Structure 1
Amino acid sequence: MIRSRALPVLLSLAFACNLFAPPLSASAQDVTITINPGSSGETGQSDQAPFTGDRPAVDVAILLDTSNSMDGLIHQAKNQLWNIVQRFAKARKAGKTPQLRVSIFEYGNSGLPASEDYIRQVVPLTDNLDKVSEALFALTTSGGDEYCGAVINEAIKRLDWSSEPNAYQAIFIAGNEPFTQGPVNYDDACKNAIGEGVIVNTIHCGNYDQGVRGQWQAGAALAEGKFLNINQDEKVVHRKTPQDKIIIQLNAELNKTYLWFGAADRRRGYATNQAAQDANAGSGLSSRAAIKSSSLYSNVGRDLVDTYAEDADAITKLESEELPVELQKLTPEERVERIEAMSKKRAEIKKKLAELSRERQQYIDAQEAASAATPGPATLGDAITEAVEVQLQASGFQVEN
């Protein structure tokens, strides 16, 4: 039965098991991902109140084991962040794309205080996806004790989960040690999570049977989530497509349309971090560019164009020195003209990017269909995508293929 606040589910684990680390050797073992079909949130329609807000809420917390053995997991998380986010970009409720917020926690790292159960909130729930990417790429591993129940409890307690009825809220927790370790009983933590409307998806890194014995499957069942099993050392492969070159060029043009505001050091920081996360995306830049062409990549409160679209009066409340240098000496009317002109230019670039991204995905789908007779090993991103699609639909979203 789906609880009161939502059908949450996804990314913690998703990111958790395939987002980080340096390139792995081509000889990595085949990955096995198993999705448990038995949890109650997977089929049927939500019985929650319909969405009535400006944007449907989607909150995802990713809890990553950063102990010594998890370099491969972190590598996967880094490399598949934008692929995972793309699934949310294809979701609609009442014709509107969701307001996606993502949080990152790390646990099991001996560099963290033992008094805090080796847990750290890396990023609170935020719609600043560049900040999420930056946080992932800053993670490092070190041996420690992995307390799954404690980190789940901390995420539920500390984060400002949406209060919107029928929001989609999910934890994804990834790791390889028994789910039972630590001072907080996993049974209590998972029941507490689903009681708050937050689904818990578990991603065990390693042997499937070991994950079952270690209670990762039981934890997911308690919180109406999915139990996933992967090889965290499987190398992530990004397919090259004919569209990549133009997409990358358009991405560079898109970056020029951002009018960052705030104190001078903040403006520089926003621009620098946007470029840095483009660079971090590496061969996955086309996937990141696809997200930047969607409404999920929003910089309200940081960029004048996005902020003006949501609140046209917002720029009148800013001091001149908070504006981009090129706008500081303009009259209020000229500033509006510049923002509207940049908004039009950005919309044109985004439209082209979206079209090319669709063509790119069609090309990838055709390539994968052609090689279906001898499929390669699945990755965490594949498993998360499948889980997210089912869970979003159960939460009242329509998800495009």
Structure 2
Amino acid sequence: MKYLNQLLGMVLLVTASTLYSCNLMAKEHKTTTLLTSVTKEQPAKQFVKIALLLDTSNSMDGLINQAKGQLWDIVNEFTHARCGNEIRPELQIALYEYGNDNLSSSEGYIRQVLGFSDDLDEISEKLFSLTTNGGEEFCGEVIQTSLKQLDWGKNPDDLKMIFIAGNEPFTQGKLNYKDAAHNAKEKDVVVNTIFCGNYEQGISTDWKNGASITGGDYMAIDHNQQVVHIETPYDDIIIQLNSKLNKTYVSYGYLGSQKVAAQAAEDSKAYSMDKEVAVKRSVSKSSRLYKNSKWDLVDAVEADEVELAQLAEEELPAELKGKSKNEIERYISEKKEERKAIQKQIQELNVKRKKFIAENQKEESGELENAMLNAIKTQAAKKNYKWD
């Protein structure tokens, strides 16, 4: 009987450690067995980590343009996501380019453009910096490089995904894509493949198999398709509110003025693509995922990352120089309330905007948009992510 109790205790311990999923609260988790009780601390945060691996060889300009707009769709999708019933996941995005002659041949024509980041302005800036030039496209090698270089973490409840897009055979390069895919599977990273071309051609060149090994999705898109946007009665109002939103940011420190300029620059780039892209970015900026505590005093105070009394005079913006601590606190509090009100207006208008689009949409959304969002929703559901 003694040995039976020990055996049952071991089974229960193993089961508790392997079946934990994000439908449980990410707080203290207590496991009781026949022999003992074990208290396990679960991570306080859940992460959604997405690595975009984009082919920037010749003819891939359409793919890059679709990715620039798709960024805001991903952000807006995860704004309302929950890990189970409790935790709102943090979103981090990394970016790689491959297959470009301007890149180093010794590095396999691969470049990490950005490691995992939650700075949405920086991610946008890096996407807009991409240019195309012909080259060799080594899919297996870029997957393996992203697995080695990025910090994917060890939390089994995090949602970890690679999206690799290109138009050449998946088998190119010295590193076998199957080895890279198996390595991804070991890290609990799902590889999704997006072939820019004919669906059957993508299958015959192993793009589908590259995804299947990790349980990912295979998709084929027309990367040169012109996305048809539906203008709504709410677009101009949302863009105007975005301008008001920018005025609620209170810069500080050596990054302050630089990041204020970057915020405006990324707004301008989004608008230059299409009004709807600017609207989507504005909606993202009204969400919980647009955080700027490294340079904005409102976010920094909210996150307890700054002690106002310890800020030097030269670190303050012009409007706060010479002000007392109480005056600064009052100013920041007013900006915080102003921001919350504007963000709420944008979110409410976006609900009406989405309803208008659903009622008037005659064509499908952008090719890349549909492909990525469908895969994200499918794979998130497997880890009990929910939307509200």
Aligned position for 2:16: none
Any stretches of 5+ residues in structure 1 without a counterpart? 1-45
Equivalent residue runs for 1:102-113 within 5 Å:
102-113=93-104
Aligned position for 1:76: 66
> Aligned to 1:125, which of 89, 102, 116?
116
Aligned position for 2:333: 340
Separation in 2, partners of 1:81, 1:377 = 14
Q: Give per-residue Cα distances to partners, 1:318-370, cap 9 Å, x unaligned.
A: 333222222232222222221111111100111111100111111111112xx
* 2:167/2:195 contact within 8 Å kept: yes
Aligned position for 2:21: 48
Aligned residues: 348
Separation in 2, partners of 1:108, 1:133 = 21
Equivalent residue runs for 1:147-158 within 5 Å:
147-158=138-149
Q: Give per-residue Cα distances to partners, 1:69-109, cap 9 Å, x unaligned.
A: 21111111123321232111221223443211111100000
Distance change (3 Å), C-alpha of 1:210 and 1:302 = same
* 2:66/2:366 contact within 8 Å kept: no
Whichever residue aligns with residue 295 of structure 1, its letter is R
Q: TM-score, normalised by structure 1?
A: 0.83
Separation in 1, partners of 2:153, 2:227 = 32
Q: Give per-residue Cα distances to partners, 1:54-76, cap 9 Å, x unaligned.
A: 44211111000000121111111
SS in 2 for 1:260: coil
> Aligned to 1:97, which of 81, 85, 88?
88
Separation in 1, partners of 2:230, 2:130 = 26
Matched, 1:62 2:52: yes
Whichever residue aligns with residue 388 of structure 1, its letter is I
Aligned position for 2:77: 87
Matched, 1:365 2:355: no
Matched, 1:268 2:261: no
* 1:67/1:142 contact within 8 Å kept: yes
* 2:100/2:136 contact within 8 Å kept: yes
Q: Give per-residue Cα distances to partners, 1:185-209, cap 9 Å, x unaligned.
A: 1001011112111111000001111
Equivalent residue runs for 1:235-384 within 5 Å:
235-263=226-254, 266-282=255-271, 283=275, 284-311=277-304, 313-368=306-361, 371=362, 375-376=363-364, 379-384=367-372
Separation in 1, partners of 2:315, 2:160 = 35
Q: Using the TM superposition, give the Cα deviation of residue 111 of structure 1 relative to its aligned residue in structure 2, in angstroms.
A: 0.2
Aligned position for 1:11: none
Distance change (3 Å), C-alpha of 1:169 and 1:245 = same
> Aligned to 1:159, which of 150, 157, 163?
150
Separation in 1, partners of 2:78, 2:201 = 31
SS in 1 for 2:145: helix
Structure possessing the higher radius of gyration over alpha carbons:
2
* 2:287/2:343 contact within 8 Å kept: yes
Equivalent residue runs for 1:222-241 within 5 Å:
222-241=213-232
> What value does the CA root-mean-square deviation take over the aligned residues?
1.7
Distance change (3 Å), C-alpha of 1:96 and 1:356 = farther
Separation in 1, partners of 2:54, 2:107 = 16
SS in 1 for 2:132: coil
Separation in 2, partners of 1:199, 1:51 = 24
Aligned position for 1:38: none
Whichever residue aligns with residue 328 of structure 2, its letter is R
Aligned position for 1:19: none
* 2:293/2:305 contact within 8 Å kept: no
Distance change (3 Å), C-alpha of 1:61 and 1:268 = same
Distance change (3 Å), C-alpha of 1:96 and 1:366 = farther
Q: TM-score, normalised by structure 2?
A: 0.86
Separation in 2, partners of 1:80, 1:239 = 16
- Higher mean displacement: 213-222 or 294-303: 294-303
Whichever residue aligns with residue 356 of structure 2, its letter is Y
* 2:193/2:219 contact within 8 Å kept: yes
SS in 2 for 1:106: strand
- RCO higher in 1 or 2 (8 Å CA, sep ≥ 6)? 1
SS in 2 for 1:68: coil
Distance change (3 Å), C-alpha of 1:312 and 1:138 = closer
Q: Give per-residue Cα distances to partners, 1:22-65, cap 9 Å, x unaligned.
A: xxxxxxxxxxxxxxxxxxxxxxxx85363514442111110000
Whichever residue aligns with residue 395 of structure 1, its letter is K
Aligned position for 1:395: 383
Distance change (3 Å), C-alpha of 1:364 and 1:219 = same
Distance change (3 Å), C-alpha of 1:166 and 1:203 = same
* 1:62/1:105 contact within 8 Å kept: yes
Any stretches of 5+ residues in structure 2 without a counterpart? 1-18, 27-42
Separation in 1, partners of 2:359, 2:344 = 23
